[in-house]
Chains A and B, each alone.
Chain A
Amino acid sequence: MNAIVRNAPFSLSRRSILKGAAASAGAFTLGFAVPFSEAEAQAGTPEINAWVVIHPDDRIIVRIARSEMGQGTLTGLAQLVAEELEADWSKVGWEYPTPGENLKRNRVWRNFSTGGSRGIRESHQYVREGGAAARIMLVQAAANAWNVPASECRAAKSVITHTPTGRSVTYGQVASAAAKLEPPKEVVLKPAKDWTIVGQSVKRLDTADKLNGKQVYGADIRLPGMLNAAIKACPVFGGKVASFDAAKVTGMRGVKKVVQIGPNAVAVIAETWWQAKTALDALPITWDNGPNVNASSETIAAMLHSGLEAEQAFEGNKAGDARAAIAGAAKKVEATYSYPFQNHACMEPMNATALWTPQKCEVWCPTQNGESALAAAIEASGLPAAQCDVHKVHLGGGFGRRGRSDYVTQAVLIAKEMPGIPVKLLWSREEDMLQGTYHPITTARMVGGLDKDGNLVGLHMRISGQSILAGVNPQALQNGRDPVVFQGLNPGGQEGPFGYGIPNLLIDHAMRNPHVPPGFWRGVNLNQNAIYVECFMDELAHAAGIDPLEFRRKLMKNAPKHLAVLEAVAKGIGWGAPAQPGTAKGLAQIMGFGSYVAAAAEVSVSNAGEIKVHRIVAATNPGHVVNPDQVAAQVEGSFVYGLSAAFHQECTVKGGRIVEENFDTYPALRMAEMPKVESILLPSGDFWGGVGEPTIAVAAPAVMNAIFAATGKRVRSLPLKNADLRRA
């Protein structure tokens, strides 16, 4: 099995490279391992349908359109196809079709975009139908060979048996015949109770090569004759290249060319990347810093502050009259929270490798959106779509950053400077930190009204700050309103029915867009919205003198799924029981990315103000669980990402640019800080939700509420490294 798994992703790339080479510069040979014999490649292996390829020796290749960046979607999608295919799981491998092939085949693989925790929840239906259709064709082919009705045949573990006579045949033996049959007009999917592969913690299909250095990431691509490029774009957003003195570095070892790329960047092309980077660092560049050079964290904070009281705001969720109810309440509680810019900081910096000739453009890159990468390649290459393609490789992290294709555009523009020669563009960590698409910055004023019995009679949540859509896709705004801002706060839908039934509610957004480019960042707007709501709920509960769990419970009568995960973590952490001496507990819940999540944290704070998270209990209801162990891995990882953000991460702005350039000033959580995580899965079986992101949102508020319980100090802005929790 490993042989298939290890090499399958490059099979398409390899053939395409050979084709591409034939059309261009000449005899390329490849550094990649060759997955199958040339004869096999020439003959073609039977494709039953777009999703399923079966070799004569029974090996199965499942085609995966979404990108694998660690989240395990690849294995989950293969499980879904294999389930309906009635496949022998031990024979299942995979490959990525290219976005160019998708285009040529009328988007038979549909959406390649891999973000928003949508990989499985938005494609489970059609990939299962693909598996089922292939099974029906294989069974029909066997029935035809035996001249018996297909209804007398049964498929299990890649073997078809004619039940009355006991004759059997393997999938590989009938694959060629099956491939020639008409696909069925309709298929019936198995009920969940009959699943044998879906719902099991089968091993990931992509682990082996990650243990021995064989996994090829984009940064590792090597093509014969390939050159390497390093790039610097103007660090001040909106700035441009004024001039650069190429003569100063053209004589340096290995340097081939110094080129301006677009209005704002300069690249050095050299034999090796280290040579390119060394020359780029030595290259005198003068920037025209543009209109944003005076922007700073302080000016941006003032801009956001102006939105807290602004009259004009977009409504996200409304019931009754919140302002009037608060004005007439027995007790008014008010607090302002804020959340900073953050960089995705994927371990593998942005990169892409491109080969351009006047006839063809090919790109090899880690991308969360193969079709967007292809569109970028087409535009930058100046070639017709049919002459361009993108070969996806595994991502060294994505977290939303690799949904953008700016680095693909750059790579193609660089490759155009070197026709017929592949060029790999790799960003330095510093470039990656300075040219991000950042977690949007927002602040929120929370105002609540309590009656004399401590009931929450009105809540006004005013968000002020950045809109991701305004930055990346303004056409998607609805009369100027960004619906994504209200993730987790909506009246209903996949992105959060708000869990609390409050008679008078107003959640609105005063849009304030600083010049720093925003992007989708793992967890997106659910991250800060969960902090704002869940920490403020904690404040309200304390103001009402009611236990925070009980306070929430009263408001969640009509939100049983929200409440179920909250109750589960409360039970798991031992809510109500005395905490370990010196520790305290906090809770949080939210719904987003189609799933219900909650967390409970047990925390201590030393006299010196050092925070230690001892234990986390998480509960998730994603509807269906395709691979429990991989869901658990996503939940565990979500706490690392969420607590990294909560404790350490902030991109500050000075002189119009980001200040933090590397992990020394933009740290991530490390192992010594990582608490134990107990993950409870509570799939209710009646919907399909995502798991890569939602849990991140409850990490910070659970810990922040526990910090309050431990210290009596309420932290309302992140990261926590800025909070002074020393005991007086």
Chain B
Amino acid sequence: MARLNVNGRVVEIDAPADTPLLWALREQAGLTGTKYGCGIAQCGACTVHIDGEAVRSCSITLEGVSENQKIVTIEGLSPDSSHPIQKAWLQLEVPQCGYCQSGMIMAAAALLAKTPKPTDAQIDEAMTNICRCGTYNRVRAGIKLAAGV
């Protein structure tokens, strides 16, 4: 039994310690906004925040996270889609199919938390998530809109 702090609540997870955080979030905590895309930290669809850092939750296991670490998933980013990234995404119609967008939004939010006014190079470095529909240019525009740059 693992205890996690997810979106400000303590959640009891009844799963072996080697279960990836992604699957504990999706199948035990019921938070399906965090997506499975590759399982090998390539695509970023499973991105969550752990103590403010963007982390690919498919590649960290329950034993790698302590109860003292604050995990935030897409469901906990804001109570009402009011995070500047979410607002910019809506305004610019960033998502297409949307499956990668939870991860995109979490990666972008983590970037802005550390680098409020990112350059293009900083965006390129931070945003390595894969989108197959092809929303990259709107993702970039959305980050800039949210950052006011």
The yes or no answer to A589 lying at the interface (CB within 8 A) is: no
The yes or no answer to A180 lying at the interface (CB within 8 A) is: no
Using Cβ atoms and an 8 Å threshold, which residues of chain B touch A550? none
The yes or no answer to A203 lying at the interface (CB within 8 A) is: yes
Nearest-neighbor residue (CB-CB) of A209 within chain B: B98
Binds B, one of A345-353, A487-495, A526-534: A345-353
The yes or no answer to A418 lying at the interface (CB within 8 A) is: no
Please judge, given known A-B contacts A203-B93, A213-B31, A348-B99, whether A664 and B81 are in contact too, CB under 8 Å: no
Nearest-neighbor residue (CB-CB) of A211 within chain B: B86
Question: What separation, in Å, do the CA atoms of A125 and B44 have in the docked complex?
Answer: 41
Q: Mark B80-91, 1 if CB is under 8 A from A, else 0.
A: 010000100110
Question: What separation, in Å, do the CA atoms of A345 and B33 have in the docked complex?
Answer: 20
The yes or no answer to B134 lying at the interface (CB within 8 A) is: yes
In the complex, the answer to whether A70 meets B81 with C-beta atoms within 8 Å is no
Question: What separation, in Å, do the CA atoms of A640 and B97 have in the docked complex?
Answer: 14
From the candidates A633, A669, A676, name the one contacting B96 in the complex (CB within 8 A): A633
The yes or no answer to A553 lying at the interface (CB within 8 A) is: no
From the candidates A203, A204, A222, A637, name the one contacting B32 in the complex (CB within 8 A): A222
From the candidates B90, B97, B138, name the one contacting A208 in the complex (CB within 8 A): B90
In the complex, the answer to whether A274 meets B27 with C-beta atoms within 8 Å is yes
Please judge, given known A-B contacts A208-B81, A212-B75, whether A640 and B98 are in contact too, CB under 8 Å: no
Q: Mark B111-149, 1 if CB is under 8 A from A, else 0.
A: 000000000000111011111111111111000000000
From the candidates B27, B129, B137, name the one contacting A674 in the complex (CB within 8 A): B137
Best-surrounded residue of B20, B102, B130 (most CB of chain A within 10 A): B130
Using Cβ atoms and an 8 Å threshold, which residues of chain B touch A253? 16
In the complex, the answer to whether A670 meets B128 with C-beta atoms within 8 Å is yes
Question: What separation, in Å, do the CA atoms of A69 and B100 have in the docked complex?
Answer: 12
Using Cβ atoms and an 8 Å threshold, which residues of chain B touch A394? 97-98
In the complex, the answer to whether B39 meets A640 with C-beta atoms within 8 Å is no
Please judge, given known A-B contacts A396-B97, A672-B124, whether A347 and B37 are in contact too, CB under 8 Å: yes
The yes or no answer to A89 lying at the interface (CB within 8 A) is: no
Using Cβ atoms and an 8 Å threshold, which residues of chain A touch B11? none
Using Cβ atoms and an 8 Å threshold, which residues of chain B touch A214? 33, 75
In the complex, the answer to whether A215 meets B42 with C-beta atoms within 8 Å is no
Question: What separation, in Å, do the CA atoms of A282 and B97 have in the docked complex?
Answer: 34
CB-CB contacts below 8 Å: B1-49 with A: 15-16, 19-20, 23, 26-28, 30-40, 42-43, 45
The yes or no answer to A285 lying at the interface (CB within 8 A) is: no
In the complex, the answer to whether B90 meets A347 with C-beta atoms within 8 Å is no
Question: What separation, in Å, do the CA atoms of A638 and B136 have in the docked complex?
Answer: 11
The yes or no answer to B57 lying at the interface (CB within 8 A) is: no
In the complex, the answer to whether A347 meets B43 with C-beta atoms within 8 Å is yes
Best-surrounded residue of A70, A668, A677 (most CB of chain B within 10 A): A70
Using Cβ atoms and an 8 Å threshold, which residues of chain B touch A274? 15, 19-20, 23, 27
In the complex, the answer to whether B137 meets A670 with C-beta atoms within 8 Å is no
Nearest 4 pairs of A and B residues by beta carbon: A213-B33, A640-B134, A637-B134, A396-B99
Known: A203-B93, A213-B34, A640-B133. 7 other contacts (CB 8 A): A210-B95, A211-B81, A212-B74, A347-B45, A640-B131, A663-B42, A664-B42
Binding site for B on A (CB under 8 A): 69-72, 203-204, 206-217, 219-220, 222, 228, 253, 272-274, 345-349, 394-399, 426, 428-429, 629-630, 633, 636-641, 644, 662-664, 667-672, 674, 676-677
